[in-house]
Structure 1
Amino acid sequence: MLKLLGAVLILAATTWTGIEAAKVYTERPRQIRQLRAALQSLEAEIMYGHTPLHTASQQIAKQLAKPVSCLFDSFSKQLDRGSDSAKTAWEQSLKKVWNTMSMKKSEYDVLKQFGETLGLHDRVSQQKHIKLALNHLEAAETDAERAQAKNEKMLKSLGFLAGLLLILLLM
């Protein structure tokens, strides 16, 4: 009876480990979609609402789930504190929140490049920069979905099978 309980615990632990390892592949496309939606909302607020950047960021943060909402919330707070520029506030917010996100360096580079143009141009030019960032994020989302399809199921199965192997070796 004790062996059976141990086997169940081992199997549960390794399966859970596999699921946790696969979570990165599940979260990345979802977070990229959220970022794309956030940038589209930002574009609408800038173009049609004539909303100040800190107010628009605050509204967008309320609409999103964590950790993407934390990026826009932090950005809004940095602007409210009187940061030197929107670029500086964006970079500081990105650095602060990045470790909680499941994205790669390529997405970081796209967002950093986008932040360099924030608040420097008129509305039409800003819209072009937002669209450019959206195009880059769309390509990254396609890549993330491909990686998810390739690796997520494998990692979950690997966790389960590693548990079975360990149980067989210990019995």
Structure 2
Amino acid sequence: MVKLIGAALILFAGTMIGFMQASRYAARPRQIRQLIQAVQRLETEIGYGYTPLPDAFERCAAHLPEPGASIFRGVKERINQPEGLTFRECWELSLADHWPGTAMRIPEKTALIRLGSALGISDREDQIKHMRLAVQQLKAEEDTARDDQARYEKMWKSLGVLIAALVVILIV
């Protein structure tokens, strides 16, 4: 009876681990798409609304679901602090703080860091060009993420169950 309960727990745990890994592959393209929409909204706020950078980030964060909203809110909060940080420093610190909570990877972070180095230091047209470039880079990464999702999501679901079943067989 104890072996049966232990086997069921092992099978359940292995299955959940596989499903958690699969969910990260499913979340990545969705989060990249949300980030693309946020950058496009930021472009609109800066380009057509003539909105100051802190206000533009606040408005974008209001329309962005988590975990992306926390990145944008973190930038807005750091800009308003009296520490005298540049926008680039605020952007990079916010990315560093909130990035582990996302399913995104290094290429997306690199594109955002490049974008952050151009915002706030050049004229409106140059900032819009950098935002459009970031959107193009993020769209390419979204395509890659969708390919990875199609390739690895089912594999991780199956692998979790199969490895758990192997452990149960070896134990019993």
Indicate whether 1:124 and 2:145 are aligned.
no
Residue number in structure 2 paired with 1:27: 27
Shift of 1:31: 1.3
Q: Which residue of 2 aligns with 1:57?
A: 57
Per the alignment, residue 80 of structure 2 pairs with 80
RMSD: 1.4
Shift of 1:22: 2.0
Look up the equivalent residue of 1:78 and give its one-letter code.
R
Kindly report structure 1 stretches of 4+ aligned residues shifted beyond 6 Å: none
| Aligned residue-pair number | 171
Give the superposition deviation at 1:2. 3.6
Deviation at 1:63, TM superposition (A): 1.4
Corresponding residue SS for 1:120: coil
CA distance in 1, matches of 2:122, 2:79: 17
1:7–1:84 distance in 2 versus 1, CA, 3 Å? closer
> Which of 124-133 and 83-92 deviates more?
83-92
Q: Which residue of structure 2 aligns with residue 165 of structure 1? A: 166
Could you tell me which residue of structure 2 aligns to residue 140 of structure 1? 141
Q: Which moved more, 1:138-147 or 1:117-126?
A: 117-126
Query: Any idea what the Cα deviations from partners look like across 1:119-153, whole Å, max 9, x if unmatched?
Result: 11222211111000000000001111111111111
What residue identity is the alignment partner of 1:145? R
Please give the residue correspondences for 1:97-112 in structure 2 after superposition, counting only pairs within 5 Å. Answer: 97-112=98-113
Distance 2:141 2:48 in 1: 27
Distance 1:7 1:98 in 2: 36
Give TM-score, length-normalised by structure 2.
0.93
Shift of 1:75: 0.4
Unmatched segments (≥5 aa) in structure 1: none
**Unaligned ranges ≥5, structure 2:** none
TM-score normalised over the length of structure 1: 0.93
Q: Distance in 2 between matches of 1:11 and 1:80?
A: 50
Matched, 1:155 2:156: yes
